[in-house]
Amino acid sequence: MHTRSGPMMLALILSMVAALAGCGGGDPVPTSSETPEDAPIPVEVALARLGSISAVYTASATLEADAEAQVVPRIGGQIVELLVEEGDRVRTGDVLARIDGDRLRLELARAEAELSRLRQDLNRQREMHERDMIATEVFERLRFEVEAQEAQVELARLELSYADISAPIDGVVSERMVRVGNRVNSSEPAFVVTALEPLIATLNVPERELSRLQTDQTATVSVDALPGEAFSGRIERISPVVDASSGTFRVTVELNEHGQRLRPGMFGRFQIVYDRRDDVVLVPVAAVTSEDARESVFVIDNGEAQRRAVTVGYRNNGDFEILSGLEAGEQVVVTGQASLATGTQVQVLDKAGQAMPEDRELVAGDVQGDGA
In this structure, are residues 353 and 363 in contact, taking their beta carbons and an 8 Å threshold?
A: no
* CATH tag, 69-193: 2.40.50.100
Class of domain 42-53+278-349: mainly beta
Measured distance CA(213)–CA(210) in Å, rounded: 6
The domain ranges of the chain are: 42-53+278-349, 58-66+196-276, 69-193
pLDDT of residue 24 exceeding 70, the answer is no
Measured distance CA(20)–CA(298) in Å, rounded: 57
Main-chain phi, psi angles of 94, to 5 degrees: -65, 140
| pLDDT of 176 | 96
DSSP state letter for 31: P
- Buried-state track 92-115, b at ≥16 Cβ within 10 A, e below 16: eebebbbbebeebeebbeebeeeb
| pLDDT of 361 | 53
pLDDT tens sequence across 112-166: 999 999 998 888 888 787 777 778 888 888 889 999 999 999 999 999 999 999 9
Fold of 58-66+196-276: Elongation Factor Tu (Ef-tu); domain 3 (2.40.30)
pLDDT tens sequence across 261-290: 899 999 999 999 999 999 999 999 999 999
From the centroid of its chain, how far is CA 288? Answer: 28
Task: Let me know if the fold of 42-53+278-349 is the same as that of 58-66+196-276.
Answer: no
**Peptide bond connecting 198 to the previous residue in cis, omega within 30 degrees of 0:** yes
Query: For the chain, what is the mean pLDDT?
Result: 85
Helices (H), the chain: 2-23, 102-130, 136-161
pLDDT tens sequence across 328-361: 999 999 998 888 899 999 998 876 556 655 545 5
In this structure, are residues 103 and 111 in contact, taking their beta carbons and an 8 Å threshold?
A: no
